[in-house]
């Protein structure tokens, strides 16, 4: 888990965190647990996305997260919020049971990847850097399958570069990336073919061969198979969970 303060400041700013609708539990003057909420309409629901939860180890097992939500939900409702959402590592059974006890239900299953691209790459592609506003978001594939931090609303406030990949003058794919860190927020081909995937990963490798991709929806089997064959390793899996408040 990153410990750099700037990482969280930038991530929470992009996510849309509202500290006035984030909550903590105190033992005297000591903060012992917290929930950091981002607030936005996505899609059709004013949603409180849990962008970070923490409980001091000494206080774990005391149902602190449930107590915070018990306090927070009426406040969120007063502010027009109709849905809560979060992500949790699939192996964290205690946290999952805790969230289920609050009323959250699993709705998506994500896989995360990291590593060095090791494909036999090609050079017959055109790479064009564009801007956020050049992206035709309404027609880009699988926008409903991205997690909160990788959705267009968060990307608009984050530090990413946007690339289109073409072959023989025709755009075949795109990716959105922080070239310094190698983090890829989105990558898609417009036709699910091995050649288009190869061109896409060749283009990515030309920017940075050491990459990280969080939260690929597990229903996207072709993408997952391609990412794996490109040499990336599945590092962790997560559930997205949601709770409708009304």
Question: Residues 82-101: what's their mean pLDDT?
Answer: 98
Q: What is the mean pLDDT of the chain?
A: 96
pLDDT at 42 over 90: yes
Count the Cβ atoms, other than its own, within 10 Å of residue 189: 22
Give every CB contact of residue 244 below 8 A, 6+ residues apart in sequence: 45, 82, 83
pLDDT of residue 1: 56
- Phi first, then psi, for residue 219 (nearest 5°) are -75, -15
* Secondary structure of 62-127 in HEC code, one letter for each residue: CCHHHHHHHHHHHHHHHCCCCEEEEEEECCCHHHHHHHHHHCCEEEEEEEEEEEECCCCCCCCCEE
Question: Residues 2-10: what's their mean pLDDT?
Answer: 78
| pTM (predicted TM-score) | 0.94
- Counting residues of the chain whose pLDDT is more than 70, the rounded percentage is 98
pLDDT of residue 236: 98
**Residue ranges of domains in the chain:** 5-111+239-244, 113-236
Question: Residues 110-125: what's their mean pLDDT?
Answer: 93
pLDDT at 88 over 80: yes
Give every CB contact of residue 150 below 8 A, 6+ residues apart in sequence: 185, 186, 214, 215
Grade residue 55 by pLDDT with cuts at 50, 70 and 90: very high
Question: Residues 64-77: what's their mean pLDDT?
Answer: 98
Grade residue 118 by pLDDT with cuts at 50, 70 and 90: very high
Question: Residues 138-157: what's their mean pLDDT?
Answer: 98
Please give the Cα distance from 57 to 32 (Å, whole number).
9
Grade residue 120 by pLDDT with cuts at 50, 70 and 90: confident
**CA 117-120-126 angle, 5° bins:** 85
pLDDT of residue 229: 96
CATH homologous superfamily for the domain 5-111+239-244 = Gcn5-related N-acetyltransferase (GNAT) (3.40.630.30)
pLDDT of residue 46: 98
Count how many residues are written for the chain: 246
CATH class for the domain made up of 113-236: alpha beta
> pLDDT digit string (tens) for 180-221?
999 999 999 999 999 999 999 999 999 999 999 999 999 999
pLDDT of residue 122: 85
Tokens 């959250």, residue? 104
Grade residue 2 by pLDDT with cuts at 50, 70 and 90: low
Same fold, 5-111+239-244 and 113-236: yes
């Amino acid at each position: 888990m990153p410990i750099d303060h700037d990482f969280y400041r930038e991530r929470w700013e992009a996510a849309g965190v509202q500290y006035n609708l984030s909550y903590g539990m105190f033992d005297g003057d000591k903060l012992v647990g917290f929930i950091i909420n981002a607030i936005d309409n996505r899609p059709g629901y004013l949603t409180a996305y849990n962008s970070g939860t923490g409980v001091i180890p000494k206080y774990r097992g005391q149902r602190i997260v449930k107590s915070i939500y018990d306090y927070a939900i009426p406040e969120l409702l007063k502010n027009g919020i109709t849905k809560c959402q979060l992500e949790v590592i699939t192996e964290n059974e205690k946290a999952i049971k805790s969230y289920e006890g609050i009323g959250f239900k699993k709705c998506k299953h994500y896989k995360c990847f990291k590593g060095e691209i090791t494909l036999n790459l090609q050079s017959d592609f055109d790479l064009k850097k564009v801007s956020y506003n050049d992206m035709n978001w309404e027609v880009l594939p699988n926008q409903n399958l991205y997690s909160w931090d990788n959705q267009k609303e968060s990307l608009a406030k984050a530090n990413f570069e946007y690339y289109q990949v073409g072959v023989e003058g025709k755009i075949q794919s795109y990716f959105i990336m922080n070239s310094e860190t190698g983090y890829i927020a989105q990558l898609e081909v417009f036709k699910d073919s091995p050649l288009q995937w190869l061109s896409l990963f060749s283009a990515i490798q030309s920017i940075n061969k050491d990459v990280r991709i969080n939260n690929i929806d597990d229903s996207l089997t072709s993408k997952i198979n391609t990412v794996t064959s490109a040499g990336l390793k599945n590092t962790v899996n997560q559930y997205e969970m949601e709770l409708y408040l009304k």
